[in-house]
């Protein structure tokens, strides 16, 4: 991953994130999160938080959107451009999030039960299955709820 830097997302990354998400969502066999639009991504970045792996020209190769609640973070969307799949980009982004949680904090996310790459990623980072939401996704698929807690 030469020339890639890890940055906080801001307004000027919106179009690159949207293009990455749209290209992925058009080709992916499972729904990726909710039905994200450019406006929803822009609002999420404006009102909440995001981390990204970026090229020097600002092009986003991988990004993670998350919200901060009292004693809890929730990951809303993660996506890596296919040419960067399996290079460790998303593991690095999520790991930096996990390294900065406080002792009382947990991190939550939902994932389509058929999304094996994402499930493999979360489990490899130490997330544990904590619940299920049948029929949660637009294709009728079940959501798995995963939680990460720092070991005390
Ligand atoms: C899921 C996703 C974000 C992973 O991103 P990535 O940058 O390729 O992941 P990484 O390279 O950091 O992989 C870290 C680990 O995740 C797991 N993993 C990633 N892709 C995998 C795959 N295709 N199959 C199985 N495990 C996989 C592995 O444990 C991997 O470690 P390893 O390569 O040492 O075996 C990427 O596949 C993607 O963008 N998918 C479409 C969007 C999506 O499904 N988002 C999740 C729902 S919100």
Q: Percentage of the chain surpassing pLDDT 70?
A: 98
d(C-alpha 126, C-alpha 36), whole Å = 27
Assign 129 a pLDDT band (cuts: 50, 70, 90): very high
Look at residue 88 and give its three-state secondary structure.
coil
Rounded mean pLDDT, 11-19: 97
Assign 3 a pLDDT band (cuts: 50, 70, 90): confident
DSSP state, 116?
H
DSSP state, 12?
G
Taking alpha carbons only, the member of 105, 75, 111, 72 closest to residue 93 is: 75
Give residue 2's pLDDT. Answer: 65
pLDDT higher than threshold 70 for residue 152: no
Q: 89: CA distance to ligand 1 center in Å?
A: 9
d(C-alpha 6, C-alpha 89), whole Å = 9
Q: 80: CA distance to ligand 1 center in Å?
A: 8
Q: Does the beta carbon of 62 lie inside 6 Å of ligand 1?
A: yes
Q: Does the beta carbon of 82 lie inside 6 Å of ligand 1?
A: no
Q: Is 86 left (phi over 0), alpha (psi -120 to 50) or beta?
A: left
Q: What is the mean pLDDT of the chain?
A: 94
Give residue 27's pLDDT. Answer: 83
Pick the CATH number of 5-149 from 1.10.287.180, 3.30.1330.10, 3.40.630.30, 3.40.250.10: 3.40.630.30
Q: pTM, whole model, 2 decimals? A: 0.95
Rounded mean pLDDT, 28-50: 90
d(C-alpha 80, C-alpha 111), whole Å = 15
What pLDDT, in 10s, does the model give residues 59-94? 999 999 999 999 999 999 999 999 999 999 999 999
d(C-alpha 62, C-alpha 95), whole Å = 13
Q: Does the beta carbon of 50 lie inside 6 Å of ligand 1?
A: no
Domain residue ranges in the chain: 5-149
Give residue 32's pLDDT. Answer: 81
Greatest extent of the chain over all pairs of C-alpha atoms, in Å:
42
């Amino acid at each position: 991953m030469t020339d890639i830097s890890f940055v906080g997302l801001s307004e000027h990354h919106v179009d690159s994130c949207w293009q990455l998400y749209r290209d992925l969502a058009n080709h992916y066999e499972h729904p990726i999160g909710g039905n994200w639009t450019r406006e929803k991504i822009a609002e999420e970045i404006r009102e909440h938080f995001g981390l990204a792996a970026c090229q020097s020209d600002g092009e986003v190769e991988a990004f993670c959107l998350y919200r901060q609640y009292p004693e809890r973070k929730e990951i809303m969307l993660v996506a890596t451009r296919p040419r960067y799949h399996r290079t460790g980009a998303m593991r690095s982004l999520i790991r930096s999030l996990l390294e900065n949680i406080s002792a009382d904090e947990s991190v939550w996310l939902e994932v389509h039960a058929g999304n094996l790459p994402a499930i493999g990623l979360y489990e490899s980072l130490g997330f544990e299955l904590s619940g299920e939401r049948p029929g949660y996704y637009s294709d009728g698929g079940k959501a798995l709820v995963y939680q990460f807690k720092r070991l005390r």
